[in-house]
Copies of this chain bind each other. A is one copy, B any other.
Amino acid sequence: MAAERLVVIGGDAAGMSAASQARRLKGPGALEIVAFERGHFTSYSACGIPYWVGGDVEARDDLIARTPEEHRERDIDLRMRTEVTELDVAGQRVKALDRESGKTYWTGFDKLVIATGARPVRPALPGMDAAGVHGVQTLDDGQALLDSLDALRSEGPRRAVVVGAGYIGVEMAEAMLKRGFEVTVLNRGEQPMATLDADMGRLVHEALDGLGITTVNGAAVTKILTGPDGRVTEVATDAGTYPADVVVLGIGVEPETGLARAAGLPVGPHGGLLTDLAMRVVGHDNIWAGGDCVEVLDLVAGRTRHVALGTHANKHGQVIGSNIGGGYGTFPGVVGTAVSKVCDLEIARTGLREKDARAVGLRYVTATIESTQRAGYYPGAKPMTVKMIAELRTGRLLGVQIVGREGSAKRVDVAAVALTAGMTVEQMTALDLGYAPPFSPVWDPVLVAARKTVAAVRGAGS
């Protein structure tokens, strides 16, 4: 039997995890693997870019988990700087453009993996392409930003404006602070970290103030102003104008699905490809998709959402590669867990925010508690705020948000598992969580929050 050919579009986490796992299960005699990557790098940690820019991570290559050469040593025919420009589903072939030579050619496939990732949202505003305005989506972006910082005058105050106050925005705010910049974060919304409810976002706002990061809420960017050399000088918003030596865009991403849409593959309400539990594109037995270009089932809301996170992309790749390699795997969905930090401030969330719950027809109660991440008498005990949301009547956990200091964020994992298991907040009050004074008060803050939420469920009656 001739080898089947697997074609992979996209050489980062999902695509190359799929290729690697398929290769682990099937040798080159049974499966030929061709992978196309339009950029210069494979299998790197985009999530690490803020720490490289901020100087915590020394070298760009530290972020690369596996180089093109390493993939090729595993019998993967990896074609770098080669973009797939057309997908012919019926003909089972893709058209590729070699960006170096400019040549195009068709390659047939028996099985296809679409892992085209996401692209940063770049509003079409005047000056967005000016020198000194940078996205931080790819390693190339990060390198361009670092080169741009090197070119700046070193005397006098240096001002950075970060556009967007989501997790990329706040992580880049820390990075620029570490680089010695005065940092202003321009936030279109009511409070930073719109992935939290506004009451918890306010705590982030106050903490950012304390760290010396200025956050301006309700500030939608209208224009980037430039100097005679074409370089950014100011950022104009409907709320005022802010001087800037450099501008970092951290305003989120959307699924990169132009190719798949053009080929008639199904996309969901958030613009991502729709797959089944085995990560096959809906309606197509020989096409898989994973990573930042797909929508995933939100297990709490019962509908799909788009979550661009390396940890999901890696799991998708693992599942896809297992299934293509003759094994078995599924990706049941997410509960929406995210953690981030700004200096010693830690921010975490999982499950639904209040507005998410409302949007899917759930009625709920909330409770917010303040505790400490260690026993109050133990050195380094610091405030930690936990907000918990539970369904009315049933008391089923719907979501948890945490804002605190060192040792706070990863406690959200307890809630992530409880959400996955469909636990009620009453059940959570009995959880046997690790206790010792350096790690927790005798009542873990998550348990304190659960107890208060139980009271809220009971108090809310029917």
Taking a contact as CB atoms under 8 Å apart, the answer to whether B416 and A339 are in contact is no
Taking a contact as CB atoms under 8 Å apart, the answer to whether A57 and B413 are in contact is no
Binds B, one of A186-194, A223-231, A435-443: A435-443
Residue of B with least CB distance to A433? B413
A62 to B375, CA, bound (A): 10
Q: CB of A421 within 8 A of chain B?
A: yes
**Which of B47, B423, B437, B443 sits near A47, CB closer than 8 Å?**
B437
Q: CB of A414 within 8 A of chain B?
A: yes
Taking a contact as CB atoms under 8 Å apart, the answer to whether B63 and A377 are in contact is yes
Taking a contact as CB atoms under 8 Å apart, the answer to whether B434 and A350 are in contact is yes
Interface string of A422-449 (1 = CB under 8 A from B): 0100010111111111111011100000
**Which of B331, B378, B435 sits near A56, CB closer than 8 Å?**
B378
Interchain nearest-CB distance for A259 vs B (Å): 25
Interchain nearest-CB distance for A81 vs B (Å): 25
Q: CB of A420 within 8 A of chain B?
A: yes
Taking a contact as CB atoms under 8 Å apart, the answer to whether B421 and A417 are in contact is yes
Taking a contact as CB atoms under 8 Å apart, the answer to whether B417 and A434 are in contact is no
Taking a contact as CB atoms under 8 Å apart, the answer to whether B62 and A440 are in contact is no
Given contact pairs A375-B48, A377-B48, A350 touches B439 in the complex (Cβ within 8 A): no
Interchain nearest-CB distance for A8 vs B (Å): 19
Q: How many copies of this chain does one complex carry?
A: 2
Taking a contact as CB atoms under 8 Å apart, the answer to whether B410 and A420 are in contact is no
Given contact pairs A51-B378, A442-B314, A337 touches B434 in the complex (Cβ within 8 A): yes
Given contact pairs A62-B377, A420-B432, A443-B311, A411 touches B410 in the complex (Cβ within 8 A): yes
Q: CB of A340 within 8 A of chain B?
A: yes
Taking a contact as CB atoms under 8 Å apart, the answer to whether B45 and A350 are in contact is no
Q: CB of A287 within 8 A of chain B?
A: no
Q: CB of A396 within 8 A of chain B?
A: no
A337 to B427, CA, bound (A): 16
Q: CB of A208 within 8 A of chain B?
A: no
**Which of B45, B51, B417, B435 sits near A414, CB closer than 8 Å?**
B417
Interface string of A367-378 (1 = CB under 8 A from B): 000000001011
- Give every chain B residue within 8 A of A289 (Cβ-Cβ): none
Of all A-B residue pairs in the complex, the 10 with the closest CB atoms, nearest first, are: A421-B421, A339-B434, A311-B435, A417-B417, A62-B377, A334-B432, A337-B432, A335-B432, A413-B433, A310-B442
Residues of A bordering B, CB below 8 Å: 13, 45, 47-48, 51, 56-57, 62-63, 167, 171, 309-312, 314-315, 330-332, 334-341, 348, 350, 375, 377-379, 407, 409-414, 416-418, 420-421, 423, 427, 429-440, 442-444
Q: Would you give 5 A-B contacts (Cβ < 8 Å), ordered by A?
A: A51-B438, A310-B435, A314-B442, A410-B411, A410-B440
Given contacts A48-B378, A48-B437, A63-B377, 5 further A-B contacts (CB under 8 A): A311-B443, A314-B442, A413-B444, A420-B427, A421-B423
